[in-house]
Amino acid sequence: MSPLRRLVLSLSLVSGVLVAGILGYLLLGFGFLNSLYQTVITISTVGFVEVEEFGAAEKYFTIVLIVAGFSTVVFAVGQVVEFVVEGHLQRTFGRRRMDRTIAHMSGHVVLCGWGRVGQAFAGYLRPNEQLVVVDSDPARLATCPYPHVLGNATDDGSLSAAGLDRCGTLIAALATDADNLFVVLSARAVNDAVFIVARARADSTAEKMIRAGADRVVNPHELGGSRMAALVAQPHVAEFVDVVMHEGGIEFQLAEVELPAGSPLVGRTLGGAHLRASTGALVLAMRNTDGSFTTNPSSDTPLEDGQILIAIGTESQLAQLRAATSEERGLTPGGGPAR
């Protein structure tokens, strides 16, 4: 039983003895005020005189009430001291503040699993990204700096507490493929619009996760092998991409910018939009609405609704590119979330 439940139980026992004492004295012919007063001085053992004449029945009942009341009061005091001294009170209020914080989140990221993969993922988050972690190990969550939910991520209640119905992205990074597959199924059933990235060890499981509703499936072992191969074959290229994507050691960054519906650029060609001249950012590739890529696009490549521009540039140049895609017709700069 948790410390909070033991505290509630002890206080409930004291309340029960108090009510039983009042009812007992009422049945013995005392008035309500005298019954309440006699019960309180009996349970607290302050030693005041009886408010009315006691016969044998009153004395026997008072003996039982003293034993029961003293035992429950001592138990309750012990639970209160333990709850406060051991920090349970602070953790309880902290948990409630965290729950309120999560309840006000929307479009955030839900990370299932605070293991090595989950912690590595959190390390690459953008500074303004909201994250809620779900994990069943309290020792691991003790080191988590983000709002979190202690519970099994395969449990719908834990996912609901993390704001699954309002989140924009869910990361299934649990230890086993079976658990990740279950999380994908549960998440897709609750939130049809959420973008799901799942971890998988086996190729066969990866296919099942896609069928279950995952948008992307990542095999850490396969990625590790491909990275080592890239470092052997083209070490400078691999390290350049790492620095641009993750380390921020140079001025340039890689970013993706979505062309929203109604963008002033839609219907023009890449050359006709003059993005390179007006923003300074260089478009390296484009992802089309059918999922295919156009790499090193030519100047006559048409711009269409929903395309993703993959560009390189400084932070200010990329910001200008995002603004250029949505600066007219009342659109919000950035054009909405890119996938």
pLDDT band at residue 1 under the 50/70/90 scheme: low
pLDDT band at residue 234 under the 50/70/90 scheme: confident
**115 or 97, greater pLDDT:** 115
Give the mean pLDDT of the chain. Answer: 85
CA dist 143 and 255 (Å) reads 30
Do 166 and 105 form a contact (C-beta atoms < 8 A)? yes
Q: 256 pLDDT exceeds 50? A: yes
**97 or 251, greater pLDDT:** 97
Q: 329 pLDDT exceeds 60? A: no
Q: What angle do CA 139, 143, 149 make, to 5 degrees?
A: 70
- Which region among 108-117, 252-261, 301-310 has the lowest average model confidence (pLDDT)? 252-261
Q: Where in the chain is the domain with CATH 3.40.50.720?
A: 106-218
Supply the DSSP string of 179-190, one letter for each residue.
HHHHHHHHHHHH
Tell me the C-alpha to C-alpha distance, in Å, between residue 87 and each of 82, 84, 120, 146: 8, 5, 30, 20
CA dist 107 and 114 (Å) reads 20
pLDDT band at residue 91 under the 50/70/90 scheme: low
Q: What's the confidence (pLDDT) of residue 209?
A: 93
Q: Where in the chain is the domain with CATH 3.30.70.1450?
A: 251-324
Q: 240 pLDDT exceeds 80? A: no
Name the fold adopted by 3-86.
Helix Hairpins (1.10.287)
Q: What's the confidence (pLDDT) of residue 106?
A: 92
pLDDT band at residue 130 under the 50/70/90 scheme: very high
pLDDT band at residue 337 under the 50/70/90 scheme: very low
Q: Where in the chain is the domain with CATH 1.10.287.70?
A: 3-86
Class of CATH domain 106-218: alpha beta
Tell me the C-alpha to C-alpha distance, in Å, between residue 105 and each of 113, 126, 162, 200, 271: 19, 16, 9, 28, 40
Residue range 134-174, pLDDT digits in tens: 999 988 988 889 999 999 999 999 999 999 999 999 999 99
Q: What's the confidence (pLDDT) of residue 97?
A: 81
Residue range 207-222, pLDDT digits in tens: 899 999 999 999 988 8
Q: 195 pLDDT exceeds 50? A: yes
Sorted by sequence, the CB contacts under 8 Å of residue 135 that are 6+ apart come out as 112, 113, 114, 115, 118, 141, 144, 148, 149, 150, 153
* Domain 251-324, CATH: 3.30.70.1450
Q: 124 pLDDT exceeds 50? A: yes
How would you write 36-88 as a 3-class SS string?
A: HHHHHHHHCCCCCCCCCCCCHHHHHHHHHHHHHHHHHHHHHHHHHHHHHHCCH
Phi then psi dihedrals of residue 194, to 5 deg: -70, 140
- Single pTM value for the model: 0.59
- Which region among 208-222, 231-245, 251-265 has the lowest average model confidence (pLDDT)? 231-245
